[in-house]
Amino acid sequence: MNKSFKDLMQPGKKNIGTILQVPSEELAEMLGHAGLELIILDMEHCPMTPPKIVSMVRACESVGALPFVRVPDVTDEDEMRAYIGKIVDKEAFDHKGLVYGMGHAVYSLSDPRAVVFKSFVQQLAMAKGRKTDFDFYNTVERLAPQVIAEKRHIYKGVSTNVDFYSGFVYNMLGIPVELYTPMFAVARVVGWSAHRMEELVNVDKIIRPAYKSVMATRDYLPMENRG
């Protein structure tokens, strides 16, 4: 039977526990079988992804140990900057060195789609009572380009792309995590198929032409004034 936090915190009761800084479900289970009553899963000092944490929490509960998750202080900008640096150095998260939602093959100063999208994300966050979460994303958006530019020596600029806030929006709308990737893919299937067909026709090459307008310059007319 799993114990609750209230059970462990009874006056005068002594509990046996430890801090686990290794991303291993097997080790979590071994500690529970050894008699430890609580296990602190340390995300602050150990590279554990959210799915890994969920799996380790379940492992602890399966052997009757009460899991606690220690997370980085998301209000401390110095700590956030340091953690982003660890991600870029492949020392944290999934060890791939990527801050997902940062950077674009074409847009370097800013992704105009992301700029427009962000204003709607902010409105939704305010309506859903998620201002704190929005502020967190906003801080990462500001700090990550600085850290990436410093560590990767990228001076042309790094900015968020339109997908940086997508997961946050899906979460606010109550969409299951399992549908995030399918939703991303469905919208792109036609383009991916077209690229594949082009590769087959052009011997594994995709043509990316540059465009130059040859139209005469015209003044902008509001919709209501157009013929």
Task: Tell me the catalytic residues.
Answer: 104, 163
Query: In angstroms, rounded to a whole number, what is the distance separating the alpha carbons of residues 34 and 36?
Result: 6
Spatial CB neighbours of 15, under 8 Å, sequence gap ≥ 6: 8, 37, 38
Strand, coil or helix: 81: helix
Structure tokens at 120: 């709607």
In angstroms, rounded to a whole number, what is the distance separating the alpha carbons of residues 138 and 118? 9
Terminal C-alpha separation, the chain: 75
- DSSP notation for 4-16: PHHHHT-TT----
Listing DSSP states for 179-192 in one string gives GHHHHHHHTTHHHH
